[in-house]
Chains A and B, each alone.
Chain A
Amino acid sequence: MIENRFITDQLQQRFTHDILGYETSLDMLTITVTSPVIHEVIAFLKENKNLAFTFLTDLCGIHYPDRGLPLGVVYHLHNLQENKRIRVKTYVTAGNPNVQTMTDLFETANWMERETYDFYGIIFDGHPNLKRILNVDYMDYFPLRKEYPLEDQTREDKNDKFFGR
């Protein structure tokens, strides 16, 4: 079993100031890194023999409209030999939402990144086929961003004081 401490030490040695924080949440170690080095970090985690996080379980976006870097990408990696999961996060600005693609490391990132682009508008540089996947091609907004509420907020026939968010 790889200790969390070992992972953080390895990353700290390699990427000193680009690691923004570590956090052990309810289930797994969460590492936040700056967006320019995200590809290097994931590649390091995958290719380093002692870490070997060779399985990309999940990749998804998240939106915090009130933060300075509102758009996030969350990666869930899994070391199948040691059965260790970690979560890596990176945040970008809404004006320049560019993150490097992981398709060269994991084939599976292809559709996951297309889905993230589709819903959050995060642009994955170097992606071979970055277009919408679940929504229609002519849609001109990114529906999972928080500025698009689920119901029409101008409706007056329904008092949503209690049931709304």
Chain B
Amino acid sequence: MIPRPLTPSPKREGEYTTLNLGPTHPATHGIFQNVLTLDGEKIIDAEQTIGYIHRAFEKIAERRPYYQITPLTDRLNYCSSPINNIGWHMTVEKLLGVKTSKRIDYLRIILMELARITDHLVCNSVIGVDSGALTGFIYVFQEREKVYEIYEEVSGARLTTNMGRIGGFERDISPIAIRKIREFIDHLPKVLKEFEKLLMRNRIFMDRTIGVGPISGERALNYGFTGPNLRAAGVDYDVRVMNPYSSYDDFDFTIPVGTQGDVYDRFCVRQEEIWQSLKLIRNAMENLPAGDFHVSVPQFYLPPKEEVYSKMEALIWHFKIVMGEIEVPVGEVYHSVEGGNGELGFYLVSDGGRTPYRLHFRRPGFIYYQAYPEMIRGGVLSDAILTMSSMNVIAGELDA
């Protein structure tokens, strides 16, 4: 391992270089600005400027009925949209007191774990890119493409999926989608093994990542870290286990943890989580019960179009949903799901109106990105780039 200087040399203020890394920089994978104070190549201090793609989702949500908020959640962490969509549906279901059937839960687990796999694949392969290995990135993007084809089959869209509805899904999962999922989970292990062979025990990759951008478990908790970044620091907190939602407690899976909280540990934790997700998908596919793909929530779930044209009851509900003449319980609820990069929380306050009175997204990326200066201080510039890509900061989620 290359020894890195950790203490700044005693220079005067004016002798440091200021470097604007961003807002648009090819190495940051999104619109992030970092103003770095450098001594040669060593980072003395950093300050982030965020908000370049702020779209005021929390304000927009205050004027939108519940079912129209799903597309907004797509655009938070756009590398794993289905988790955001389904997380939002479950928040509303919690407010309404709707219990979903096992079939819906298992279908949701399959789709959320597929989203987690793509999220981790993107993040880990980008760590490879930033340390000079482009091949792995191109290789696993082929697999991500297959997941996007599954999304297409399930929801009709690829990136901004708008998947599912309050109370279940808009249509049953098609046999083509089932076939594609099976093909994907059968093929991915081979690719993953090759990808791991390329990087995991690669001397150059290990030298570049071990001991880079570390954070202790205690600091990580104080900074509000969640997800793989926290687990890489050695804290085994996972929402799927702590507050099981969508019947995650029916399944047996392992939560990998790291020890150092550095780039390499984050890489390894994500890599192992992909294997665990594959196992979860396989189990859920095997045990997928038969049944309906949605539960009865007529106030929120639009009736099938052919019934709207032929049945009075369906027409009335359709009219009520679209015109907003529905009863929403008064109350407030916080629901969180394990997103691709941490605990994605929805704090929803309802005053009984058609739209939320207040909706706050707890975006994991926004919360842990503030630790970035502390993590890169004392390191060199090229390590700062690696640290950022290993934290998996997604601009859409950061800025909401």
Contacts and interface: CB of A to CB of B under 8 A. Distances in A.
Interface stretch (A13-21, A52-60, A93-101): A52-60
Interface in B196-247: 219, 221-224, 235, 237, 242-243
Q: Which 4 A-B pairs have the closest CB atoms?
A: A108-B224, A134-B51, A60-B360, A134-B54
A138 B237 CA distance: 40
A163 B360 CA distance: 22
B347 A107 contact: no
Interface of A: 25-28, 30, 54-58, 60, 62-63, 74, 76, 80, 83, 85, 87, 106-108, 110-112, 115, 119, 133-136, 143-144, 150-151, 162-165
A57 B223 CA distance: 10
B258 to A, nearest CB: 17
Contacts of B59: 143-144, 150
A62 B349 contact: yes
A54 B38 CA distance: 35
Contacts of A83: 242-243
Interface residues of B, number: 46
B308 to A, nearest CB: 19
A64 to B, nearest CB: 9
Nearest to A105: B222
A147 B355 CA distance: 17
B371 interface: yes
B354 to A, nearest CB: 7
A57 B345 contact: yes
B60 A56 contact: no
A160 to B, nearest CB: 10
Contacts of A133: 50-51
A143 B51 CA distance: 14
A106 B243 contact: no
Contacts of A135: 51, 54
Given A107-B223, A151-B63, 20 more contacts: A26-B332, A27-B94, A27-B335, A54-B221, A55-B221, A57-B336, A57-B362, A58-B347, A60-B347, A60-B360, A74-B347, A74-B360, A107-B370, A108-B224, A111-B370, A112-B367, A135-B54, A143-B56, A165-B63, A165-B355
A134 B50 contact: yes
A144 to B, nearest CB: 6
Contacts of B343: 57
B223 A58 contact: no
B72 to A, nearest CB: 13
B221 to A, nearest CB: 6
Nearest to B343: A57
B39 interface: no
A58 B242 contact: no
Contacts of B63: 150-151, 164-165
22 contacts: A26-B95, A26-B97, A26-B333, A27-B94, A28-B334, A55-B224, A57-B362, A60-B360, A62-B349, A74-B347, A74-B360, A76-B334, A76-B347, A80-B221, A107-B219, A107-B222, A108-B222, A111-B369, A115-B366, A150-B60, A163-B324, A165-B62
A68 B97 CA distance: 32
Nearest to A143: B59
